[in-house]
Structure 1
Amino acid sequence: MTAALTFEFATEAEIDADIEALTQGAARWAAKSLHERAELMKRTHAAIAAAADEWTEAAVVAKGTPRGSLEGEEWMSGPYASLSGFAAAAETLEQMATGKSPAAGLKAGKAAGGRTKFRMLPSNLFEYNLFHGFSADLWLTPGVAPELAVEKAGLGQKRLGENGGVGLVLGAGNISAIGPLDVLYELLAFNRVSVLKLNPTFGGLTAAYEKAFAPLIEAGVLRIVNGAAEVGQYLTSHPGICHVHITGSGLTHDMIVFGSTTDKSERKLDKPISSELGGVSPIIVVPGNWSKADLRFQAEHVVTQRLHNGGHNCIAGQALVLSKDWAQKDEFIKVIGEVLASLAPRDPWYPGTDKKIALADASYPEAAKINGRTLIKVDGSTSQDLLTTEYFGPVLGYTELPGMGEEFFANAVDFANERLDGTLGASIIVKPSDRKKMGGRFEGILAELRYGTIGVNVWSAIGFLVPSLSWGAYPGNPLEAVGSGIGIVHNAHLLEDVERSVLWGPFRPAHRALTHGEFALSPKPAWFVTAKTGDQVSKRLTQFAAKPGWGKLPGIFAHAFKG
């Protein structure tokens, strides 16, 4: 664990003053034109760029992130994601200011089950080059025609003059862009200004946040407060707060809403709440004939989904779903163990992780321990706790289901839907030839997978970095059984009737066989925990997001190919 640091918490008097200032700021926001709002987004984008180094360093210190390549996690999931989000917001507002729908120009298509989908990545030549081989679509709920979706797009920005009041954003304590991007969506979708209460783990980021978001603070649409549970309780019950948004755990959500994690017969919270709450994310591996290079790359892919950010991610892959009929399943688990063994130990930094790991140890005393990580086989003879307990740490489990090809995929989707807790994100690994054999049935089965973000040959968490995609649980959770949450964020084109986001990636980077081995034609993704130059690539991606230009691409690619 990293050493606990103490930061000054906001007083009740300071909170009262902040809410009064925001109340006035909400009225000023309501009076702003779309052009003025776009300019505020641009000024904030510039301020984030100026604070990026300070922000990243503060996050590294807060988490005790190992120096070197893993610092790239803080660049990419902090200032990079925020720069992308605010740039997309400015573009949306500018487009609307000209009288166009923010969804005008999007490429529409048909998805399984009578759904409309819009292509969100790549959206320009820069993205085509930077994310070559990757694509992403936003899926709407069944039956919504693309023309109607374009016409309806705009959410709160179609309602100029609306005063959405003052909301509370209870910020996450693991990924530093979450809170700021939640604030942004509150402002755009609902015309609601925000108190952003930091999780105590991010108290050390206060100065960097205040610098990065100074334009929003000066405009009266944001205040940032630090505090523990008592500060959160005062804020949630404050009469000046009209809405709460939380990123955290289902237990915290239930305590706020009902005052209990078991008795949900009576609401204690007197205002609406939206949420993003995590869960047990599956990694479904469709069996195929894999080379040794395939096995190694996908083992690194699986380990990344579990160990990124030390394992402290609400979207971390925790339940690996394999075919018991796959001839290579044992070899794949062996290679995963080798990858785990090759990585230097990393102390968990998120508060309470030691208790979660102890729970896993108690449920699975025979689990393999590899460099401080836990690898668990779950079958009919073991505890099933891994399927319903989000360990939020370096704990990876695997289970086996019958079938090959289409049969296995359908079984795995049913298993994920019915046996795993939560619906935030799911990932699928499938060789292109095996997907091709299923034809249209592949997308049909995929459409049955009830998760808010799905990644095919790419970790679903990457959807968080694409501002035009949605981020949140699969729709339909009631307050009493909130699961992975209620509502979405991001959604930069401000579309209604959003169901999910689906990302597609290459099975593994393209390689060319040479006499003495293989030569990579495309690099290992910078977010892999095994990438050697993740810090350099992510820093340069952030600098590109601050001021895009073709001249910056060679430096990004040069470091990427060294990874």
Structure 2
Amino acid sequence: MTASQPTTEQVWTIDQAVDDLVRGEAAWAACGRAKRRELLERMHAATAEHAEAWVRAAVAYKRLPEGSPLIGEEWITGPYPVLTSLGALASSVGALEEGRSPVDGFSFGRAPGGRVSVRVLPHSIWDQLLLNGFSAEVWMPPGVTKETVRGRAGLSQLRPTETNGVGVVLGAGNITSIPVLDVLYELYANNRVVALKLNPVTDGLLDVFSQVLAPLIDLGAVRILTGGADVGSYLVHHPKVSHVHMTGSSATHDAIVFGTGAEGAGRKKAGTPLLDKPVTSELGGVSPTIVLPGGWSEADLRYQAEHIATQKLHNGGYNCVASQVVVVSSDWAQKDRFLAHLRAALSDAPARPAYYPGSDDRVATALASYPGAEDIGAGRVLIKDVAPADPGPALASEYFGPVLAVLELPGDARRFLDEAVRTANEEFAGTLGVNLIAHPGTIAVLGTALDEAIAALRYGTVALNAWTGVGYLTATATWGAYPGHTLDDVQSGIGVVHNALLLDGPERTVVRGPFHPAPRAILHGRTTLSPKPPWFVTNRTAATTGRLLADFAAAPRWSALPKIFASALRG
């Protein structure tokens, strides 16, 4: 990675941090499972204590208006998933401590292609109540048996004394839980002590992260560094660093691994990385949302349009798994009405600042690439002239901003689904996540063909009637690209994170949700209790519900449920 050189003071700080970690590796190796569980419990308490400051810092750098419902996003994607992950990891380590497997108590199932699945949501009574109607399974590769899953669950915690050196985590700048979750995974799944280099966008969270990770910092197992690309470059090439994990774009990945410019392109083509150590990554891509044709009510059209607007505009569109292309059937009788609702949902969603660097330029590029691209206000772009024969950059380049394209493919539900799966697999850049939306009547008609289509999609998370972001928020689910990518064709990355059950070699996570929200679901014979989810950008009580959910994750209790339900129903 070409960058200016860090200052002498910065070099001294980095060297000192790495030397601390070299010594800290021995302290981490000496920690038995009981001590490691205790560290997780202490971080859980620290996260709860500093959750308010965490959200304030995130709101400040994202410039969200005071009192905005959008602040709920910062509760739900900041302290909340860290609290749930810390709790789930502590349970996994505790199981190993007692001679059990982390998957004991979780149900197993079968998935197409001879796959074993582990049902990770719902698991507890709290899941059944708070996420009623949602489910998630982790699918293992074909041929892996239940016994193998059980025996290998635990990863490096099966051999805690066998540590793996000093790792670098290059923190993300968009979702504030990512840096902490990545640090936890490096330590507990991979047995590496960690130098966390913050993205400069998140420097305002340094104090909060230092408090949350204080038990690991005091042990010598974590150090946090700030600075620009010069600091990052010096750190990843440090001779005492044995591994790098990053979150970002494939372009940033290639710059780090191969270098920039013509020389970097030459190294990539030759397969000779500039960075001579293993690299894992969670990268973005062009995430599709496949809308299957069916007989929808006007309320269905409106609700699912808001659903897709959320998939695009959550966090301003600055999500690795933000939907970028909506795939619809050109033969769907309700297509035009649906697209009208979609345009309205995108236009009417609350405005927010374009806080992420380079956003305006990426939006301008999208507008310039398609003659029919429409600026629908608040810096948002809708592209409806994507041609299947010549789709242009919308399928090949991640915009990482508020740009949504529409691709029309022909056919009834079955024919359309087959072509949409093929297109998603062969023509879309990246493999992080794909969403499918289908009416229950369409699901019934398709039968096993829909399960086979889910199995055929080569994506790390597949969501049916839910956003793949639900997989991100589920601590025991896996998060990352579909397996099999290489450094010179990295797509959406290599490896997984989260995975609090510490499963060995998972293939994907499959999430399912309700097509109809409560209470309207009752009119359609469904018993789901979930109203409009609090992560919807149109949810009016998201800030209150998000805060209450984080508070509940800090201390689950029956007495907290009435307030959560009341707030959620008003959303």
TM-score range, shorter chain: over 0.9
3-state DSSP of counterpart to 1:65:
coil
- 1:140 and 1:514 mapped to 2: Cα distance? 34
3-state DSSP of counterpart to 1:132:
coil
The question of whether the paired residues in 1 share the 8 Å contact of 2:367 and 2:374 is answered with no
Letter in 1 for 2:21: L
Equivalent residue pairs, number: 553
Q: Alpha-carbon deviation of 1:104? A: 1.6
Equivalent residue number for residue 276 of structure 1: 282
- 2:430 and 2:450 mapped to 1: Cα distance? 23
- 2:459 and 2:71 mapped to 1: Cα distance? 29
Letter in 1 for 2:61: A
The question of whether the paired residues in 1 share the 8 Å contact of 2:350 and 2:537 is answered with no
Q: Alpha-carbon deviation of 1:112? A: 0.4
The question of whether the paired residues in 2 share the 8 Å contact of 1:284 and 1:429 is answered with yes
Q: Alpha-carbon deviation of 1:10? A: 7.5
The question of whether the paired residues in 1 share the 8 Å contact of 2:388 and 2:408 is answered with no
- 2:243 and 2:392 mapped to 1: Cα distance? 36
What is the 5 A alignment of 1:205-220? 205-220=205-220
The question of whether the paired residues in 1 share the 8 Å contact of 2:132 and 2:529 is answered with no
Q: Deviations over 1:207-245 (max 9, x none)?
A: 111112111111211111111000001101111111000
Equivalent residue number for residue 416 of structure 2: 408
3-state DSSP of counterpart to 1:527:
coil
Letter in 2 for 1:354: D
Q: Alpha-carbon deviation of 1:510? A: 3.1
What is the 5 A alignment of 1:417-428? 417-428=425-436
The question of whether the paired residues in 2 share the 8 Å contact of 1:10 and 1:225 is answered with no
Q: Is 1:311–2:332 an aligned residue pair? A: no
What is the 5 A alignment of 1:441-480? 441-480=449-488
The question of whether the paired residues in 2 share the 8 Å contact of 1:85 and 1:492 is answered with yes
Q: Is 1:438–2:433 an aligned residue pair? A: no
The question of whether the paired residues in 2 share the 8 Å contact of 1:9 and 1:225 is answered with no
Equivalent residue number for residue 11 of structure 2: 12
Q: Is 1:262–2:269 an aligned residue pair? A: no
Q: Alpha-carbon deviation of 1:507? A: 0.2
Q: Alpha-carbon deviation of 1:461? A: 1.2
Q: Is 1:510–2:521 an aligned residue pair? A: no
The question of whether the paired residues in 1 share the 8 Å contact of 2:283 and 2:493 is answered with yes
Q: Alpha-carbon deviation of 1:491? A: 0.8
TM-score, normalization by structure 1: 0.96
Q: Is 1:95–2:102 an aligned residue pair? A: no
Q: Is 1:486–2:494 an aligned residue pair? A: yes
Equivalent residue number for residue 53 of structure 1: 52
Q: Deviations over 1:268-312 (max 9, x none)?
A: 101110001110000000100000000000000000000000010
Equivalent residue number for residue 507 of structure 2: 499
3-state DSSP of counterpart to 1:136:
strand
Equivalent residue number for residue 380 of structure 2: 373
- 1:421 and 1:353 mapped to 2: Cα distance? 19
Aligned with residue 326 of structure 1, among 319, 332, 335: 332
3-state DSSP of counterpart to 1:262:
helix
Q: Alpha-carbon deviation of 1:347? A: 2.3
| Residue ranges of structure 2 left out of the alignment (5+ in a row) | 1-6
3-state DSSP of counterpart to 1:208:
helix
- 2:456 and 2:150 mapped to 1: Cα distance? 25
- 1:499 and 1:343 mapped to 2: Cα distance? 35
Q: Deviations over 1:357-386 (max 9, x none)?
A: 121011013211112210001115865110
Q: Deviations over 1:487-506 (max 9, x none)?
A: 00111111112000000000
Q: Is 1:21–2:44 an aligned residue pair? A: no
- With 474-483 and 145-154 compared, the bigger mean Cα shift is at 145-154
Equivalent residue number for residue 4 of structure 2: none
Q: Is 1:531–2:544 an aligned residue pair? A: no
Letter in 2 for 1:91: S
3-state DSSP of counterpart to 1:190:
coil
Equivalent residue number for residue 202 of structure 1: 202
- 1:559 and 1:339 mapped to 2: Cα distance? 22
Equivalent residue number for residue 182 of structure 2: 182
Q: Is 1:30–2:29 an aligned residue pair? A: yes
Q: Is 1:145–2:145 an aligned residue pair? A: yes
What is the 5 A alignment of 1:235-250? 235-250=235-250
Q: Alpha-carbon deviation of 1:12? A: 1.3
3-state DSSP of counterpart to 2:189:
helix
What is the 5 A alignment of 1:343-358? 343-358=349-364
Equivalent residue number for residue 192 of structure 1: 192
The question of whether the paired residues in 1 share the 8 Å contact of 2:64 and 2:71 is answered with yes
Q: 1:24 to 1:412 in 2, by over 3 A?
A: same
What is the 5 A alignment of 1:59-74? 59-67=58-66, 68-74=68-74
Q: Alpha-carbon deviation of 1:346? A: 2.1
Letter in 2 for 1:506: P
The question of whether the paired residues in 1 share the 8 Å contact of 2:165 and 2:242 is answered with yes
Q: Alpha-carbon deviation of 1:442? A: 1.0
Equivalent residue number for residue 4 of structure 1: none
The question of whether the paired residues in 1 share the 8 Å contact of 2:116 and 2:139 is answered with yes
Equivalent residue number for residue 3 of structure 2: none
- 2:371 and 2:229 mapped to 1: Cα distance? 34
3-state DSSP of counterpart to 1:532:
coil
Q: 1:512 to 1:76 in 2, by over 3 A?
A: closer
Q: Alpha-carbon deviation of 1:105? A: 2.0
Letter in 2 for 1:160: P
Q: Is 1:562–2:570 an aligned residue pair? A: yes
Q: Is 1:297–2:303 an aligned residue pair? A: yes
Letter in 2 for 1:282: P
Q: Alpha-carbon deviation of 1:82? A: 0.6
Equivalent residue number for residue 5 of structure 1: none
- 2:474 and 2:357 mapped to 1: Cα distance? 28
Equivalent residue number for residue 44 of structure 1: 43
The question of whether the paired residues in 1 share the 8 Å contact of 2:133 and 2:530 is answered with no
Equivalent residue number for residue 338 of structure 1: 344
- 1:152 and 1:366 mapped to 2: Cα distance? 52
Aligned with residue 288 of structure 1, among 294, 298, 301: 294
What is the 5 A alignment of 1:534-553? 534-553=542-561
Equivalent residue number for residue 225 of structure 2: 225
- 1:302 and 1:349 mapped to 2: Cα distance? 21
Q: Alpha-carbon deviation of 1:40? A: 0.6
CA RMSD of aligned residues (A): 1.8
- 1:13 and 1:88 mapped to 2: Cα distance? 37
- 2:43 and 2:238 mapped to 1: Cα distance? 28
- 2:283 and 2:485 mapped to 1: Cα distance? 12
The question of whether the paired residues in 1 share the 8 Å contact of 2:243 and 2:279 is answered with yes
Q: 1:351 to 1:10 in 2, by over 3 A?
A: farther
- 1:554 and 1:511 mapped to 2: Cα distance? 17
- 1:255 and 1:403 mapped to 2: Cα distance? 41
- 1:10 and 1:79 mapped to 2: Cα distance? 32
- 1:376 and 1:297 mapped to 2: Cα distance? 21
Equivalent residue number for residue 160 of structure 1: 160
- 1:350 and 1:447 mapped to 2: Cα distance? 35
- With 372-381 and 250-259 compared, the bigger mean Cα shift is at 372-381
Q: 1:385 to 1:10 in 2, by over 3 A?
A: farther
- With 373-382 and 322-331 compared, the bigger mean Cα shift is at 373-382
Letter in 1 for 2:149: A
